[in-house]
Amino acid sequence: MRTRSVYLLFPLLLTLLPAVAHAVEFAEEASEAGTRMVKVGEGTFKWTFFRIYDGALYIDARQPDADPLSDVARRLVLEYNRSFTAEQFRNSGNEILERNTDPETLQGLRDRLETLNAAYQPVGKGDRYALTYVPGAGTSLRLNGERLVTVPGADFARAYFSIWLGEDPAKESFRDDLLGDR
């Protein structure tokens, strides 16, 4: 009976191996609105041993050591290893944002947050979201290179990037990998 269970699980295990072994490559540089950014770190967001997504953080090439939550150009690129709905993005993002932002600031961001949340689309394996902030231009959300929305404000960028880079991020080990050797 035990041997039969192993044989039934074997096909399932084979389908999981590509997700575990998949290596994602990120460019060393990125640019937006005439601003060149350099990669400062990359990592994998895992739940148990499953890769959920891989990501890379880019910072303005003129200020690569700047605090990534300051008023400096930055980009976060996330490549997904599984499917997510737009609602899952909204719900998880809002929950983590609330942990990293005081209620008064969050209230002041509410309309802009709703604008960004309305732009989210479902993703599948291999899709990439890029969240890019450029001072004076705002925070742009792109899916597979296509710009979906731009939200104004350095305050918005600081709060939203705190989901991954804040004091209580989605996952500390992922944040630390993104920040590299800082």
What is the Cα–Cα distance from 7 to 71, expressed in whole angstroms? 55
Full-model pTM? 0.86
pLDDT of residue 11: 46
Residue 84's CB is within 10 A of a number of other CB atoms, namely 18
Q: Which segments of the chain have a pLDDT < 70? A: 1-22, 181-182
Q: 150 vs 64, 118, 134, 141, CA distance in Å?
A: 23, 12, 10, 6
What is the Cα–Cα distance from 144 to 45, expressed in whole angstroms? 19
Residue 165, SS3 per DSSP? helix
Are 62 and 31 contacting, i.e. CB atoms less than 8 angstroms apart?
no
pLDDT of residue 77: 98
Beta strands in the chain (DSSP E): 29-32, 35-47, 50-60, 74-80, 128-134, 138-143, 146-151
Which residue ranges form the domains of the chain, and what is each CATH number?
Answer: 25-179 (3.50.70.10)
What single DSSP character describes residue 102?
Answer: -
Are 57 and 45 contacting, i.e. CB atoms less than 8 angstroms apart?
no
pLDDT of residue 8: 47
Are 121 and 86 contacting, i.e. CB atoms less than 8 angstroms apart?
yes
Tokens 């005081």 correspond to 102
pLDDT of residue 80: 97
pLDDT of residue 61: 97
